[in-house]
Structures are given as structure tokens and as C-alpha cells.
Chain A
Amino acid sequence: MTLSVADSAPQRPAGRRRSLAPGLGALPLRRLRWRGAATVAVLLLAWEGASRTGLLPAASMPPASQVLSAWAAFAADAAFWTAVGYTLSSALTGLGLVVLVAVPLALAIGLSRAVRESTWFIIEFLKPIPPVAMIPLGLLLWGPSETMKLALIAFGALWPFLTQMVYGIGQVDHVALDMARSYRLRGWLTASRVVVPGLLPFAATGLRVSASIALVVSVVTELIGGAAGLGREIVIAQSAGNLPGMYALILTTGVLGLLINGAFAAAERPLLFWHPSQRKDTQA
């Protein structure tokens, strides 16, 4: 057990979470130290300088100061917040759909070998299909509507959560289950004390990954499909030649991504304070 891989091998959720949010699962802003802040400042200054001196074509990259002031102007703009609301609410509603679909599906797949083997090919085939590939089909069937958005978000964001849940069901501690049985815990107690705590880390990891995919698909359907939201605002700003606004909107989507990831990671802490993956930080 000298290599850390061997250590992390049995508990896949830790490996999975690392794969998408390596070691930085918690609120990223808390770790912002002076070097990080300095880099951000230097980059903004370099951007400003390069754009002002014409090193970067000002026609494609307006100075940072203009973008930041466009951003400040958005803060007082009701239309901007409406667009943010559309994008966020679709992503979260889609995520709710994912949970509604995935939990019964994961239970069926995880508990029955017949269901697992029967659905294996379909799931393995659908999983790697890029959700954007479905946009034209979605547009054909539903037009640039909320339904189209939700269907595509649910399709794209389903897989990480479903995979984690199925894996988690397979990992429920059998010793603990046997123990619960010999202590004659009733169904409710077994479920709430053994099964749910066992599943929670997997569900949390899967949900966080699914949430960031939901945001991406939400923005893309707006960008390409023309559904209402930040993605469509980006296209509108671009075609109107409002470049500072366009860049400010793009930065906004990044901030939303940070916030969603941070919010789910922050929710994991109090829920999973007892789990080894949360203790690692203090050991190191």
C-alpha cells in the first residue's frame, strides 16, 4: 500500500470526486491566497494593456475595464437577472428530473441482476453520446422551448448520478446489513441507519458532477437552440456587436459554474462529516 492509488482504489467516490474537482472540492474562494490574487490582477492588467496597445485586436477583445464596467451595469439590469434565472432554474429543474428518474432506475439496476444485465447495453451505449448531439433532434421535436431544454439537460446529466448510485448500491456494507439483521432492526431503521448513510457519499458526488453538466447543457441549448437564458443573451450581444457585454455574460456563466460546484461541495461537508473522504484534509 505504498502507492496512493492502492489506497484510494476501494473507495471509488473519492477517486471520482478527485477526477472532476481534484482536491479542491470545497469552496475554492476560501483558498484564494495572495499569489492567486496576484495572478488574477496581473492577468487583468495584461489583458487591459494588450487590448489598449492593440496587441490583442480591440475588435475581438475589448479592454478588461470595459468588460468589468459592463458587468457592473448588468448588476442593476433586471433583464440580466431574468436570464440568469432562466439558466439556473432550468439546470436545477433538470437536475430534479435526473434524481426522479435515476433513483428508482438505480435501485432496479442495483438490486436485480436481470435488470442490470438487460439494461447494460442500452446504458453503455447512451452514456458516451454527447448531449449536444441531441440538440437538433430536441429542436425538431419541441422547438426552442423549456421542454426541449429540460429533456436535454436530463439526458446529459443523468449518467454521472445514475452510475454513482448503482455503484453505491453495490457497495452498501454487507457486514453492517447482517449486523442490522441480527440486531433485528426494523426496515425503517435499517434503511435510515445503514443504507442511506452508505449511499449518501456516492449520491453527493454524482449529484455534484451532474449539476455542473446540467449547467453546461442549459447554456448550450440557449446558445445553439435559442431558448431563453444566458446562452441566448451571449449570442444576442455578439450579433449586436456589444463585445464588453458578451464577455461579461461569458464571465457570468463561469461564476455560476463556480457557485454551483461550491454550493454542492459545501452541502457535502455537514452531510458527510463522518466520511473518510472528508477527514483526509485534516490528516494531510
Chain B
Amino acid sequence: MNRALPLLRTAALRLWLPVLLAIVWWYASAGSQNIYFPPLSTILETFAADWLGSRAATDLVPSLGKFVLGFLISAAGGIALGTWLGLSPAAREAAEPVVQFLRSLPPPVLLPIGLLLFGITGTMNVAIIVMGAIWPTVLNTADGIRSLDGQVADMSRSYRLTFAQRLFSVALPNAAPQVFAGLRTTLQLSIILIVVSEMVAAASGVGYYVLNSQQTFAVAQTWAGTLVLGLIGYLSTLVFLAVEKRVLNWQHGMRRAAEGA
């Protein structure tokens, strides 16, 4: 009789455990003398003092800027390269062993190479992201472009669509869901790489802050920094999913229609 009730129950079911855990953490750690587990209140105070204050501009914004720039370059480059590989079987065959190898390489091992080539610079951080995170988007785009149904491809040709029309109105929209699956992996790798590259080679940034805190036994700072990194990972995924939902809206509509039919 009341529609709000099930919704409320779901909300309550989803919230009780996180809230309980937070409360348990708060009280169990209150007045903790264990140097590894400082009180949650101390962690939150450190978090607020460092990350809502002075460090937001000096460390957080540059880190985020490099991360977003690296991701966008990887995304654009990955889609372009993937489209080319998807359209040309010869290029695909030629590039396959190299692309497969680079995809299998654990991306953080590129770090020493980036350091040697670019030194400790912002360019290095961005270059590392692009070198390491571009491959899932390349492979998924190529696969998505290839997966175009033969009838659709013939149809678009017999309607004499130009190459640009075929690419942007037929092939790329068809590949979009797979492109987004690739972009999501690229996003996760971008975060990993900005953090790792700042940990190893930077004098500022969130990654540097966390590892440096650990090395100087600033325990509350280590916890607070881990919290920041976790939040960056969580929030960027939320933004990405919102964008994906918007862009792929027509896809979901079509799937619903297909399932309903």
C-alpha cells in the first residue's frame, strides 16, 4: 500500500553495515595507543586539516590534473588507434604481437623507463599513464569496430554513406559499449599509474604524500592519504559510470526493446 516502504527497507539494509562498521571503528580506536591504528577521529582531523586545506591546491589539484590529462590522451589515442586496427586487417595482424605484449606488461614496470626518458617531471607522469593505460581501449575499440554486423555494413555501403558517415554513425556507435568497457579499465590503470609514478618519482602529489608519510612513520597521515586515494578511485568511477550511462542511453533503450519484443 505504501510504495516508499520497500525503498526505505533497501536503503536501511544497505546502510546498516557500513554505519555499524564506522561506529565500531570510531569507538574501538578512540583513545588507541597502538601506533599503527590511531583513533579514527585523529585520522579524520588529519584528513580535514591536510586535504580540505593547504594541500588541496598544492598536491591534490596537480595530481588530479595529470591523472585526467593522461586519461583523456589515452582515451582519445586509444579510440583512434583501435579504430584504425579495427578497420584494417593488415594493420591488426602486424600490430598484434606488439600490442598483446604491451597489454600483458604490468604497467608500473614502465616507470623506470619513463624516468630515464623524461626525468622527474609532470610530462613523465602523463607519459607513463598513456604508455601503460592506453591498451585496453585500443584492443576493445578494435574488437568493437570489427564486430559490426555484415548486413549493417553492406546496407550502409549500398546507401552510399560516405566513409565519415559510416565511421561516425555506424561503426563507432556499434562499438561504443565495448569502447566504454575498455575505457573503464583504462581509467583504473590511469589512477594506479598516477599514484605509482608519484610514489616513485615526484616531490609533491597525493602518491608522494602517502608513501612519504609511511616512510617517516606519520601514521595518521598515511591513513588520511590512503583515504584520499580511495575517494579519488571511488568518485572517478562514479563520474565515469554517469557519463557512460548518458552516452549509452540509446543502447540500454534498445536492449529493453529487444528483450520486450
Contact = CB atoms under 8 A, between A and B. Distances in A.
Interface string A206-240: 00000010011001100110000001001100100
B258 to A, nearest CB: 5
Nearest to B147: A4
A37 B254 contact: no
A124 to B, nearest CB: 8
Interface string B163-198: 000000000001001100110110010011001100
B233 interface: yes
B121 interface: no
A109 B255 CA distance: 27
Contact of B106 (A3, A32, A219, A224): A219
Interface in B203-261: 210-211, 213-214, 217, 219, 222-223, 225-226, 229-230, 233-234, 236-237, 251, 254-255, 258
Nearest to A59: B116
B156 to A, nearest CB: 12
A194 interface: no
Interface residues of B, number: 78
A184 interface: no
A235 B181 contact: no
A38 B113 CA distance: 25
Contacts of A19: 136, 140, 178, 181-182, 184-185
Contacts of A258: 100-101, 104
A3 B14 CA distance: 36
Contact of A120 (B14, B149, B151, B226): B14
A78 interface: no
Contacts of B233: 128-130, 133
Given A118-B14, A118-B17, A250-B105, A129 B229 contact: yes
Interface in B106-133: 106-113, 115-117
Contact of A36 (B96, B108, B223, B230): B96
B102 A24 contact: no
B90 interface: yes
Contacts of B15: 121
B16 interface: yes
B162 interface: no
A122 B18 CA distance: 6
B241 to A, nearest CB: 10
Contacts of B229: 129-130, 133
Given A129-B233, A132-B192, A238 B104 contact: no
Interface stretch (A100-108, A137-145, A164-172, A196-204): A137-145
B152 interface: yes
A37 B96 CA distance: 9
A54 interface: no
A117 B14 contact: yes
B230 A140 contact: no
A12 to B, nearest CB: 11
Nearest to B223: A137
B105 A28 contact: no
Contacts of A57: 117
B142 interface: yes
Contacts of A31: 96
Given A60-B117, A137-B222, A128 B192 contact: no
A3 B17 contact: no
Given A20-B136, A28-B96, A60 B234 contact: no
A22 B143 contact: yes
B195 A129 contact: no
B98 interface: yes
A18 to B, nearest CB: 6
A280 to B, nearest CB: 11
A39 B98 contact: yes
A19 B113 CA distance: 27
A139 B219 CA distance: 11
A186 interface: no
B255 A6 contact: yes
26 contacts: A2-B152, A5-B255, A19-B182, A22-B140, A22-B143, A35-B94, A118-B14, A120-B14, A121-B18, A125-B230, A128-B233, A133-B229, A134-B226, A135-B211, A136-B214, A141-B36, A216-B107, A216-B108, A219-B109, A220-B196, A224-B108, A224-B200, A243-B116, A254-B104, A254-B106, A257-B103
What 9 pairs across the A-B complex have the smallest Cβ distances?
A257-B104, A133-B229, A60-B116, A22-B143, A136-B214, A19-B181, A117-B13, A254-B105, A128-B237
Given A118-B13, A216-B106, 16 more contacts: A4-B148, A18-B181, A19-B140, A20-B136, A43-B98, A118-B14, A118-B16, A121-B14, A129-B229, A130-B233, A133-B230, A136-B225, A136-B226, A219-B109, A238-B112, A250-B109
